[in-house]
Amino acid sequence: MLCPFCGAYADGDAILCPECGRLLPRGENRDTGVRAIRQGRRAREDAAAQRTPLQAERQGAGRVYVDPEHLRAQGEVPVYADSYVYDEEGQPVTGAALDEGARGYAAETMREPGAYVNPDPRGRLRKEHLATRRMVNWTLVGLIAIGFAVILAIGALIFLNRTHAGQLIMARSGRSATSAALWEVGEERMDTGDIDGAIACFEQAALQDEEADDINVPGLLMLGGAYEAAGRLEDAEALYVHIYTDIVPSAPTAYSNVIRMMLSDGRRAAAAELMQTAWEKTGLSSFQQQRTDLLPQQPVVSRTAGSFSEKFNLGLTSPQGLDVYYTFDEEAVLPDEGILCDGSVFMDEGTRKLRAVCVNGDLVSDELSATYSVSLPRPQSPYVHLAPNTYKTRCKVPISPGKENSKDTDITIYYTIDGSIPDSDSPIYDGTPVQLPTGYVTLRAVAVNGYGKSSNVTEVNYKIDVRPYPKAAFGVEDLISGMKLHSTEYTDFQAAYGEPLSQEDLTLNNISNPCRKYVYGWGYAIFERAGSHQYLVDLYFTGGPFSAPRSTGVGQSESEITDAYRDMGQKAGGSGNRGLYQTDKGIGRVLVTDTGKIIRYICYTADSHTWQLDYVLNSYGVVTAIETIYIP
């Protein structure tokens, strides 16, 4: 058996260990099977069966000589004893007695199987115990090895998954890793020229950051640089735009990269626009300066914006000799919807905002914006030198410009006495006092300066209580042969004037219903068709069986016609037209035409319709036709 304390071999009936001297445990049953094999019993029994008598005797003496090489080959472990040997008589030989002969004898006799001498390192032979080598517990060794392997595996997993260095190893091997490790490995591959590998790492890292809602802007910029290095310029630009549009609007590097790419592609206008945006978002003046250096200079004007009291030509040019486009429309897009400037712009009266740009190919300068207000001076109202009152005699009234315009030679005064408001078609005061008509008269006058600015209207009312008073104006009672507009029906008209020569249907602009025109030898009549009825709306005749109002008719002169109606005696205006009268019930005027004149009277009916009566005169001033018209 083996000593459980020192591992030395002891005989089965031994009580104490021959080596450590401790009390050996005893058992009733002899070890067999695997345990006996492990303790070397079977090997020892086999060796005992092969020993010589001398070996057995020496075995009984408690000593045996063994050859270590032989024991190793047999699986036994030598246990060395004292440093001496036995002679052939079995007596120990020590000291000088251990001469060459004895040593040789011992060497010779001891070379029998199971009894070998082992040379001592000091040249002596050592006496050894015969002991079996202790057997290895391979199951325990295997379990220990498995335990160590499991510990190593767990440690390796912890190292790979929980440390940055481990994640770097995972990323380098193409396995799943943290985004930080992927960014770093991607940068390493960029440094070594592996652009595709770097892009793969960067894209995976960006995807993981996006899923974790933790964006790495410097990493995305590296990815953009990798795209550029790989020639994927569209992907790079899209990534940079995504950075400053959706992630960090104030990221200057993203703006700079896109601007650089635009300039390299010749997209100068787009680059300039992006420079403006970059300056606004980042606040970096470098973008503004870059844009200023790129774009043309703004247009220059000859006058600073402001208020002016006269019209003028404003100089508008480019300091670099470029084309200049301008507009006064605040909604127009420059330069596409602008006007090409020839060097100056006429500034008319009013307040207008001038917008202008200089153009150099596809580059457009910053917009010049300037507001000019031209407010021309207005003259004072004319002064009428007759106080309003009732006068028993005919009066003439002088008119003069206002006091502030007394020395202004470029003043024109327009006046009326027919009741209308003065305008450019009214008579011009030429310095001759105005002759007032009889009855109730309103004198109105307005001054216009050289800029075309009108004054307020001066209005003075008089009563000239002198006979004869003016006649009555044209009214609804003034009928032609008793026929009333929009009341006389065609059946009555046909009964009085017979069948027409021809007829035709037509549409009049001022009549909503369809109309029918009946043509006669003396002219025509037009009737509006309203259901089963037809009503007179237009009558034109050059003679025939008709009698005009107030004994007027074809063949009379202008004065014969005007004398039959109200006439305030107003002079003709610059165009030749002359106002006869104007009241809230009607108007009377003489109008110049290409072929002569028309004396036109208008009255307003109680139901808010209009009746018009025209006397058509030829160039000799003779009435050649009369027409009466109904206007809804």
Sequence-distant (≥ 6) Cβ neighbours of residue 19 within 8 angstroms: 3, 6, 8, 79
Q: Which of 10-24, 252-266, 590-604 has the lowest mean pLDDT?
A: 10-24
Mean pLDDT across 553-557: 97
Q: Which of 153-162, 192-201, 336-345, 527-536 has the lowest mean pLDDT?
A: 153-162
Mean pLDDT across 356-381: 94
What percent of the chain stands above pLDDT 70?
82
Residue 11 has pLDDT above 60, yes or no: yes
d(CA 6, CA 18): 10
Q: How many CB atoms lie within 10 A of CB 494?
A: 15
Q: What's the alpha-carbon Rg for the chain, to the nearest Å? A: 67
Q: CA dist 16 to 22, 57, 250, 607, Å?
A: 5, 22, 91, 154
Residue 623 has pLDDT above 70, yes or no: yes
Q: Compute φ and ψ for 620, nearest 5 degrees.
A: -90, 0
Residue 150 has pLDDT above 50, yes or no: yes
Whether a cis peptide bond, with omega within 30° of 0, leads into 92 is no
pLDDT interval class at 131 (50, 70, 90): very low
For the record, the structure tokens of 591 come out as: 């109008």
pLDDT at residue 160, as a whole number: 73
Helix (H, G, I), strand (E, B) or coil at 618: coil
Mean pLDDT across 62-70: 48
Q: How many CB atoms lie within 10 A of CB 284?
A: 15
Taking alpha carbons only, the member of 459, 440, 464 closest to residue 566 is 440
pLDDT at residue 630, as a whole number: 97
d(CA 65, CA 193): 73
Select the more confidently predicted residue: 167 or 471: 471
Quote the pTM value.
0.55
pLDDT at residue 171, as a whole number: 85
Residue 28 has pLDDT above 80, yes or no: no
pLDDT interval class at 555 (50, 70, 90): very high
95, amino acid identity: G
480, 493 in Cβ contact below 8 A? no
pLDDT at residue 69, as a whole number: 53
Give the DSSP letter of residue 23.
B
d(CA 252, CA 240): 10
Q: What is the mean pLDDT of the chain?
A: 85
Strand 399-400 and strand 125-126: the pairing is unpaired
pLDDT at residue 577, as a whole number: 97
pLDDT at residue 116, as a whole number: 42
Per-residue pLDDT tens for 483-511?
999 999 999 999 999 999 999 999 998 89
pLDDT at residue 115, as a whole number: 43
pLDDT interval class at 104 (50, 70, 90): very low
Per-residue pLDDT tens for 165-203?
888 888 888 888 888 899 999 999 999 999 999 999 999
Mean pLDDT across 554-581: 97
pLDDT interval class at 162 (50, 70, 90): confident
Residue 72 has pLDDT above 70, yes or no: no
pLDDT at residue 66, as a whole number: 47
What SS3 string covers 461-494? EEEECCCCCCCCCCCCCCCECCECCCCCEHHHHH
Residue 55 has pLDDT above 60, yes or no: no
pLDDT at residue 22, as a whole number: 75
Residue 206 has pLDDT above 80, yes or no: yes
pLDDT at residue 544, as a whole number: 87
Angle CA 556–559–565, to nearest 5: 100
590, 599 in Cβ contact below 8 A? yes
For the record, the structure tokens of 434 come out as: 């105005």
Q: What are the chain's domains?
A: 1-30 (no CATH), 33-129 (no CATH), 144-294 (1.25.40.10), 302-371 (no CATH), 383-464 (2.60.40.10), 490-631 (no CATH)
DSSP characters over 266-318: T-HHHHHHHHHHHHHHH--HHHHHHHHHHSPPPPEESS-SEEESS-EEEEEE-
Select the more confidently predicted residue: 142 or 441: 441
Sequence-distant (≥ 6) Cβ neighbours of residue 303 within 8 angstroms: 312, 314, 315, 372
Residue 146 has pLDDT above 70, yes or no: yes
Looking at the DSSP bridge assignments, the partners of residue 615 are 599, 626
Helices (H), 377-472: none
Per-residue pLDDT tens for 77-100?
444 444 445 455 555 555 444 444
527, 511 in Cβ contact below 8 A? no
Per-residue pLDDT tens for 386-424?
999 999 999 999 999 999 888 888 999 999 999 999 999
Select the more confidently predicted residue: 183 or 60: 183
Select the more confidently predicted residue: 164 or 573: 573
Strand 434-435 and strand 396-397: the pairing is antiparallel
